[in-house]
Structure 1
Amino acid sequence: MQKVMAIVSSLVLAPAILMSAPASAALDWDTALKGKHRSEKNAARDEFRHPRETLEFFGLAEDMTVVELSPGGGWYTEVLAPLLRESGSYYAAHNSPNGGAYSRRSLGSYLKKLGEEDDIYGAVTVTTLGPADSVVIAPAGSADMVLAFRNIHSWMRAGTLANTLLVAYDALKPGGVFGVVQHRAKDGRDPERMKATGYVSEDYIIAAARSVGFELDARSDVNANPKDTGDYADGVWELPPSLRTADENREARMAVGESDRMTLKFVKPAS
């Protein structure tokens, strides 16, 4: 009888044990970070961008619906698409095909990338971030997570930051996460200087996010770089990977590495 009760107890307790496992336990990090689809150039940036640690901080799980805003050339697409392809959904909110020459070139390169690795990117849904009066990045209230990687300054320059934050808020479920990684300026920097340099202060982003309804949930220094002074004449683009700097400064900028970055986790209130 004691043996039977022990078996029954183990069956009853098993679900609780499974429920206590980390949310990211089933994520296929080996394929996402080391798969043949990743370019060597992009993989070399992992030491500065910490994709696994960053996404785990935001709380990524394999069955989530995730929207990435302005994915550019697809650096994070290489990581997110294979993580979500089996059980989740990945929306890439990219440029408008009617947004001008640069927008078309960027979108075209991105679509070409997706088409070359259908087994990895076949389930990616590409949506449009713009124009402001017609943007739908994902069905309203459908996303568990919306992510913005190093592009707040671009929306500031374009005058679309407030609208972009609003559409992110609308796409999220109540309780959903808005994750931000951004080149970090000291608090109090003039917004025009932020636009020019790419470095944005935490207080500015937090205030902007709160203005549309987000609540700050947590901060992480996973992408911090104390070597970065953030005071370069041509802004963050003097550092790798852009390295738009004079030859005499190149070695020093390489020694710094990529920029110092804030990593902020916001939530859409549950009620």
Structure 2
Amino acid sequence: MNTNSARLTSALFPGLLMALIVAAPAHAQSLDAATETALDAAIAGEHRSAENRARDRYRHPKETLAFFGFRSDMTVVEIWPGGGWYTEILAPALKERGKLYAAQYSVNPPFGYQRRYFGSFLTKLGTHPDIYRDVVITHFGSPYELEIAPPGSADMVVTFRNVHNWFAEGYGEDAARLGFRAMYDALKPGGVLGIVDHRWPDPATEDPGAANGYISEERTIASAEAAGFKFAGRSDVN
């Protein structure tokens, strides 16, 4: 059975963003030279749109991935990449030495925005086959679509601004725990789950059924721990 510990990173805007990592060991991470070179090249790549590059100053992709302990030789699963903002960085950074699974929405996405993002994602991959040809698309949706990667194969699972959608769209806590368990099962022992998301600042006043889906860090951590993860820390990098 996997034995995973965790780290949590917090917010650029207190009360709005938080990041949870389930990782080991629980100390600050730094990028090795090969990974830093690969990340710098990916972030500066001409395949990225000007609009996406403009968001780097707010989303801090290099610092966020460094905190998660990202390496360019890892097998990484990206949950619900949507239109592929982070995929534009992860795919080229992992292309030479690693592997990327893009765990997209259900095969038949129930929401219009999911269908639109999935369509634009496929277009993106087809436009730059030299960068994206090795990306493996899996699906993370219904209870029958939870094998996001072969069991015990991934070094890291990352999810960016998705957890609140699970609550906003009515999936709820049981579905969140089921999803976290799927991530746990995909990871190798000692693997990392990195989460960046909106957060509700006060557990006493949160409403998991609210339209925006914002929940507290405490609830997110509890859901991940219920799936088997152990909390290791947090940071204000994002």
Contact 1:91–1:137 under 8 Å retained in 2: yes
Residue equivalent to 2:233 = 218
- Of 30, 33, 37, which aligns to 1:25? 33
Higher relative contact order (CA 8 A, sep 6+): 2
Counterpart check, 1:150 vs 2:161: yes
Residue equivalent to 1:197 = 212
- Of 66, 71, 92, which aligns to 1:82? 92
* Structure in which a larger fraction of residues adopt helix: 1
- 2-side partners of 1:133 and 1:190: how far apart? 34
- 1-side partners of 2:220 and 2:209: how far apart? 11
Residue equivalent to 2:133 = 122
- 2-side partners of 1:209 and 1:97: how far apart? 25
Contact 1:93–1:128 under 8 Å retained in 2: yes
- Of 175, 181, 194, which aligns to 2:196? 181
User: Taking structure 1 as the reference length, what is the TM-score of the superposition?
Assistant: 0.71
User: Taking structure 2 as the reference length, what is the TM-score of the superposition?
Assistant: 0.80
- 2-side partners of 1:144 and 1:195: how far apart? 33
Deviations 1:68-105 (A, max 9, x none): 10101101001100110000000000012323362333
Counterpart check, 1:91 vs 2:137: no
Which has the greater radius of gyration? 1
- Of 163, 170, 180, which aligns to 2:178? 163
Q: Which runs of 5 or more residues in structure 1 are unaligned?
A: 1-21, 224-271
Q: Which runs of 5 or more residues in structure 2 are unaligned?
A: 1-29
Deviations 1:230-265 (A, max 9, x none): xxxxxxxxxxxxxxxxxxxxxxxxxxxxxxxxxxxx
Give identity over the alignment, percent: 51
- How big is the shift at 1:121? 1.0
Question: Helix, strand or coil for the counterpart of 2:83?
Answer: coil
Amino acid of the structure 2 residue aligned with 1:36 = E
Question: Helix, strand or coil for the counterpart of 1:196?
Answer: coil
CA RMSD of aligned residues (A): 1.8
- How big is the shift at 1:190? 4.6
Contact 1:169–1:214 under 8 Å retained in 2: yes
- Of 74, 79, 87, which aligns to 1:69? 79
- 2-side partners of 1:116 and 1:63: how far apart? 25
- 1-side partners of 2:135 and 2:227: how far apart? 28
Question: Helix, strand or coil for the counterpart of 1:93?
Answer: strand
Question: Helix, strand or coil for the counterpart of 2:224?
Answer: helix
